[in-house]
A = this chain, B = another copy of it.
Amino acid sequence: SAKSKPKSRSTCWLLQRRQLNNISIVFAELIATAMLMFLGCMGCIQNSFFTNGHFQCALNFGFVVLICIQCFGCVCGAHLNPAVTLANYIYNMISLPMAVAYFFAQMLGAFIGYGLLKAIMPESAIYSTDTPSGVCVTSVHSSLTGLQGVVIEFLITSALIAICCGVWDPRNAKFQDSVGVRFGLAISCLSLTAGQFTGASMNPARSFAPALWNGAWENHWIYWVGPMAGALVSSLIYKYAFRREVEELEEQESTMSTKRTAEQEFA
């Protein structure tokens, strides 16, 4: 690649800088995912001392995503989620090796983040009557079957990935300022909506770490199949059905006048 794009600096130094850059990027993704798990799960701790209801916990999880995007969005994009990285790969915005590196960084980051929480918090905060198998372990509510659970995870992850595709759409390229707020509130919404049914994971890494630390593997496959399938389907549909490149001419038209005649709309 260095050959195909010769710049004014030495090839050797460029390579080295690029590798360092990539290590920095993957490291940021690791820390961001660790933050997601540590802060997000800490806000879900519920026992007789600490009263965090579903409303507050779900809202908080979205705000944690806002924090992660604000901190590391400009460094690594703050995917925080193998499903998002898969969609990013389908959108040709990340290389395969980098996507694999992101995946391992996310898994390791989630493991470290949840481990840190377990190390710091007293036992009574992790295991309580409300969270018998450990705080933040995602499970399907007893009134739902596993199939219902996987369909819900599939659908809410599809929505999540459609949000990502909306953010990545060339027509929205200029609107980056409040991305963190919009994304955070969207995650809050999906958590509020589906949290009581499946935990609203939408993220294999987020479900894997608590399962591993607490040995709670019931229905765990749901949190891999649902999100990854949702990401695949949603990003492919959006890419081929809705994504449009911005044509300079059309863009000018739209900014100059908000009036569109019938002929332009429906020929």
Write the residues of chain A forming the contact surface with B, with a CB cutoff of 8 angstroms.
Answer: 1-2, 4, 14-15, 18-19, 22, 24, 27-28, 35, 38-39, 42-43, 49-56, 59-60, 63-64, 66-67, 70-75, 91-98, 101, 116, 120-122, 124-125, 141, 143-144, 148, 151-152, 155-156, 159, 162-163, 165-178, 180-182, 184-186, 188-190, 192-194, 196-197, 241-242, 244, 255, 258-267
Contact = CB atoms under 8 A, between A and B. Distances in A.
Contacts of A189: 39, 43, 60, 63-64, 66-67
Nearest to A74: B171
A75 to B, nearest CB: 5
Q: Which 3 A-B pairs have the closest CB atoms?
A: A1-B263, A95-B262, A63-B189
B242 A75 contact: yes
19 contacts: A24-B241, A43-B192, A43-B193, A55-B56, A63-B188, A64-B189, A71-B163, A71-B166, A74-B169, A74-B171, A91-B258, A101-B266, A120-B155, A121-B148, A125-B143, A175-B176, A176-B177, A177-B178, A184-B185
A174 B74 CA distance: 12
A166 B176 CA distance: 14
Contacts of A96: 262
Copies of chain A in the complex: 4
Given A19-B267, A124-B143, A176-B175, A182 B54 contact: no
Contact of A60 (B22, B39, B193): B193
B265 A185 contact: no
Contacts of A192: 43, 52, 56, 59-60, 63
Contact of A159 (B35, B165, B173): B35
Given A67-B163, A177-B175, A265-B94, A39 B1 contact: no
